[in-house]
Amino acid sequence: MSTTTLQQTETLTAPTYKAVKNLFSKGDTNAKTIKNDLETFILYMAPSDLSGFNVCPFASKGCIKACLNTAGMGIFSNVQLSRINKTRFWGYNREGFYIQLANELLKIHGKAVKKDTKIAIRLNGTSDINHLDLLIRYSGIDFLDPFYNNLLFYDYTPNPNYINKYKNTNYKLTFSRKEDNETKCIEVLNNGGNVAVVFANELPKFWNGFEVINGDDTDLRYFDPSNVVVGLKAKGKAKKDLSGFVVA
């Protein structure tokens, strides 16, 4: 399978964004992913419709208000502008975006193969897009092919369709509880999946009869046991949540 650098065609859309040097950020710039045992790369975009393009179609009022977009380095205006710019790149030049994303993934994969190691990838740090499908459409590369098994893909998502689509693949998804989808959370857990739940106080041992593990010890959800609740303590804006997104 070829790892040749792909070439993008010139977009016909008037430029409304600046060229992006790197779509991925290194995980050691994030307070959570820095705890990961594996080298991690994460793609941050401007969540919800902050950029003019809605990249979180399943977002609820609670998760929009509690979003960690402004946590850590996200508090800085230059970081916010960078994320908005990346999202506008995605919105206005879809092919160019995915050609660049594919090339960055090929480079990371080459590094992992050379070092004979695994590298973790989060495609949705602050978004909820089916990037892997769109990578196939625009670049022709299926990064879930066993050839790319040195890359370990994982994410959180409130989209039940993604949970079903990527079950038992190299894309490990943890379903995100919101104030409006608890019934679906129980269904996912009963089917052997995992669910992330944000708690206001100390993490309980069980939630709705399912074991709770500490999701703040590491962000690397890839190796979590099956059929568990990933407990996260409320941070930032989530500490003031009144919508029910955070479990009291």
The rounded distance, in Å, linking the Cα atoms of 127 and 20 is 18
State yes or no: pLDDT of 34 exceeds 90.
no
Angle in degrees, 0-180, between the axes of helices 131-139 and 94-115, rounded to the nearest 10: 100
pLDDT digits over 110-124, tens only? 999 999 999 999 999
Asked, for residue 8, whether it belongs to a domain, the answer is no
* Closest to 148 in 3D by CA, of 170, 165, 132: 170
Residue 11 domain-assigned (yes or no): no
The whole-number pLDDT of residue 10 equals 44
For residues 34 and 218, give the distance between their C-alpha atoms in angstroms, rounded to a whole number. 8
Quick check: is 13 in a domain?
no
Query: At residue 49, does pLDDT exceed 90?
Result: no
Q: What is the mean pLDDT of residues 37-56?
A: 88
Q: Is the pLDDT of residue 237 over 90?
A: no
- Kindly report, residue by residue over 152-194, the tens digit of the pLDDT: 999 999 999 999 999 999 999 999 999 999 999 999 999 999 9
Q: What residues make up the domain containing 161? A: 24-240
14 in any annotated domain: no
What pLDDT does 162 receive? 97
Nearest of 73, 3, 16 to residue 44 by alpha carbon: 73
Tell whether the model's pLDDT for residue 33 goes beyond 90. no
CA distances from 148 to 120, 153, 184, 221 (A): 12, 10, 32, 19
Look at residue 125 and tell me if it is in a domain: yes
| Range 9-23 average pLDDT | 71
pLDDT at 236: 80
Q: Which two three-digit tokens encode residue 53?
A: 């393009």
Task: Please tell me which of 18-32, 35-49, 138-152, 223-237 the model is most confident about, judged by mean pLDDT.
Answer: 138-152
Q: Which residue has the higher pLDDT, 67 or 90?
A: 90
What percent of the chain clears pLDDT 90, i.e. is strictly above it? 70
pLDDT band at 68 (very low <50, low <70, confident <90, very high): low
Average pLDDT of the chain to the nearest whole number = 89
Amino acid sitting at position 55: V
94: confidence class by pLDDT, cuts 50, 70, 90: very high
d(CA 31, CA 2): 35
Note whether residue 98 is domain-resident: yes
Residue with tokens 């992330």, as numbered in its chain = 196
Q: What is the pTM of this model?
A: 0.89
pLDDT above 80 for 43: yes
pLDDT of residue 58: 87
Pick left, alpha or beta for residue 72 (phi over 0 → left; psi -120 to 50 → alpha; otherwise beta).
left
The number of domains in the chain is: 1
Which pLDDT score is estimated for 72? 54
Residue 56 lies in a domain: yes
Judged against a pLDDT cut of 70, whether residue 197 lies above it is answered with yes
Residue 19 counted as domain residue: no
